[in-house]
Amino acid sequence: MKMQNDNLNMTYQDMYNQAVVEIQEGRVQIDHRIDDSRDNRFGVTLLVRPSLEVRQRISGFLSRIKVIEPEQYYYPPSDMHITVLSIVSCFEGFDLDQVDVDAVKEILRTCLRDVSSFNIFFRGITASPSCILIQGFPEQEELEKIRYRLRSAFSQSKLELSIDRRYKLTTAHATVIRLKKPLRDNEAFLKMIEYYRDIDFGQTRVEQMELVFNDWYQREDRCQSLELYTLS
């Protein structure tokens, strides 16, 4: 577990260091589609929901930073999540009739049947030029084992999917802020995220995973639950 978390720490630190330089120099990446009602990018995702306690602590952080940057996009507690695997990466015009959902469910049932529950510890934040993320640290290597098993099973199936199309997921982060406007005060924003760099947000016992049909931002009102999987 220590080696895995050391690797995660390095990944999160590298992301943070690069983002700070970009933010300091005003090179943030603005998401212009958040408020676009015509945005029809959809996909299929296996995810984990953080515990209520974790989401409440994250919301406390968001309420403080919102005072400094009120015009950014802040994830409500209902939308906070950790992506286990993007089964179908979001793209324009995707609909469920374009994939064999029953076959996807069967692969997930088989792969998750004997998986044990595990903890994810949420500590500190990292960043990119476009968003702020809560750092997640799995207690065991169970999450990576699950991802490996799923990738192997789907690659051997006849399903035409888009797993890892955007990037190969290796972290356990939760995106909680997206930048949709230029920052009002770069320095104040950076001071706030630096303050929360190592703050403890609590832990979640992962006892369930959820398969969803979702939009790009995992908004509750545009997200359809397809199946729940209970871990042993």
Q: For residues 82 and 48, is the Cβ–Cβ distance under 8 A? A: yes
* pLDDT tens-digit series, residues 126-178: 999 999 999 999 987 889 999 999 999 988 887 767 665 555 788 999 999 99
H-only helix segments in 69-100: none
Q: What is the pLDDT of residues 99-118, one digit of tens each?
A: 999 999 999 999 999 999 99
What confidence score (pLDDT) does residue 140 get? 77
Q: What is the CA radius of gyration of the chain?
A: 18
Q: What percent of the chain has pLDDT over 70?
A: 94
A 10 A CB-CB count for 12 gives: 22
- Residue 167, classed as helix, strand or coil, is coil
Q: Domain span at residue 222?
A: 2-34+41-230
Domain tally, the chain: 1
Instruction: Please state the φ and ψ torsions of residue 182, each to the nearest 5 degrees.
Output: -60, 145
CATH of the domain at 95: 3.90.1140.10
